Structure 1
Amino acid sequence: MASCNKEPCKEETSPQEKCCYVSNPHLATLKEDILYHFDLGTRTHDLPAMFGDIKFVCVGGSSWRMKSFALYMNELLGLGHEAADIRNICAQTDRYCMYKVGPVLSISHGMGIPSISIMLHELIKLLYYAKCSDVVAFRIGTSGGIGVQPGAVVVTRNSVDASFHPHFEQNVLGTIKAYPTALSESLAQEILQCSKEINRFDTILGNTLCTLDFYEGQARLDGAFCHYSAEDKMKYLHSAYEAGVRNIEMESAAFAAICNRSDLPGAVVCVALLDRLQDDQINSSHEVLMEYQERPQIVVGRYIKKKICNH
């Protein structure tokens, strides 16, 4: 495998470089900001020294998957670290895992909007305190496809809610706030081009339905409770398809909204494990599913390597 040992420039931030943005005046009043779920803090850790060279952040639900991604990027970029040297920076917590290989940060976020939202708040602050600039963020993961073949990779254009609206609603002090969830079209197109260069599996652009649960919220018939018919289910899923939805998962809305609020270019790249127009349950073998799960990291890895080698 060809390696590229070039890393992004570590010069001082110039006016042309874009730093991660936070919007909270209360942070300036803190003597110390404890990033509790990462087991990091502004007083206890030299965050610029530890993370100041980060240019790419990749997040995903599974701890195992994000360790696998870190190991993959270590090999792809030819960084030469032994596997044992790629340690979990958040090893003293049981909530998330975090691995750093060169300019790439790989972090798990658990399952669902609450879990990824907590992680992203602390990640954005981490990038801010570390004085990182020109960072690109990715969410890689698995999803249920709608009208796509199992194994196809979906790059998200818009994350939409259960009514297919491209926004994320959050209750703040009793008031509903709505944040846009459109993702970077130019970044999505670059990722699509990377997949075409790989030419090993189908990759498409589409909207992603982000739900609050795995069963009723995703129109499944196999949960503990179900008070709708199979016909109701199919009508809803076909309506989603007509609205441009090509896959369903549970984190993209929070990811897109927080990336937009922090002015952080972001992309969601998920593989479809099944076509929900055909079935509710995943029946592929373990070996097939493992190969499917590698596909998003292969596409994102190619994007990162191209950017570093062309820097």
Structure 2
Amino acid sequence: MSQETGTTMLNLLQRPRRNRKHPAIRAFVRETTLAPEHLIYPLFVHAGEDDVPIASMPGCARLSRRGLLAEVEKARAVGVDIIALFPAVAEALKAPDGREAWNPNGLVPDTIKALKDRWPDLVIVTDVALDPYNSDGHDGIVAPDGRILNDETVEALCNQALCQARAGADVVAPSDMMDGRVQALREALDGEGFIDVSILAYTAKYASGFYGPFRDALDSAPKSGDKKTYQMDPANAREALREAELDEVEGADILMVKPAGPYLDILAALRRSTSLPLAAYQVSGEYAMLKAACERGWLDEKRVVLESLLGIRRAGADVILTYFARQAAEWLVASSRR
């Protein structure tokens, strides 16, 4: 150190900051990108005439037919061309076997047909699980002793997926976590000629506390017990690799990790172990936390939302299901026009 100036003279050959000094340089060394085509927009639908705001998910609502069409119109205008449908079913239609799930004139088939009439090229993902239709609130059929019946549930799920495919679904997404359901669905779909209907498997779906607002949105919380006998233990990572291997062998086209943010290590591990496309679901609890902090002025919404999505992409996701999809796409499109 010079006694005259008090300055340390460094002889550095490597200065990583040189690649950060200008926006144009930062742009071409950027390793991960985020664009509207990386987003899937989950939307809640119901049979009512009006949209019903969801208190625990500010900015989201149970959408009427009119509201759904308007929201999809806005999403498509900014490049979001894939939506995922989640139905809020009237209590009177729920039963222990969830049979409304494969009613050809039910809420989801009718909604698919309406969307396809308007936008034949819209990609529609449908949820395959019984919890919106099950009077017990579980993803599967509940035995008298409280057990979730695996094989009986898988048979019901095949009926549900076929009903959705007949209505025009492009991708069926089993979120139930029953054993063997991917192979059963693939065989059922192929058996009726739906060889082009994709399966997006909820491969590593954890028994998470981050699903609370979603269950409020659909009124689908279990009436008794919990989902820990079929959804994965949050403590387990190697188990996710086993689930991924099984889903891939059974015919899944895309694998999913859910939730996204707390399980980025799982997402990265699956990215290293499979060549299949990977999806990640930024779930309702993640959305609600960011919204709450931003509404209080504690965080910059645009900055943290895009950063959270970029982090999910960086961990290995090819596509992200997020309730921020339209808003994020609007920000991304606006940025690209500057």
When normalised by structure 2's length, the TM-score is 0.28
Which structure's CA Rg is the greater one?
2
More strand by share: 1
More helix by share: 2
When normalised by structure 1's length, the TM-score is 0.30
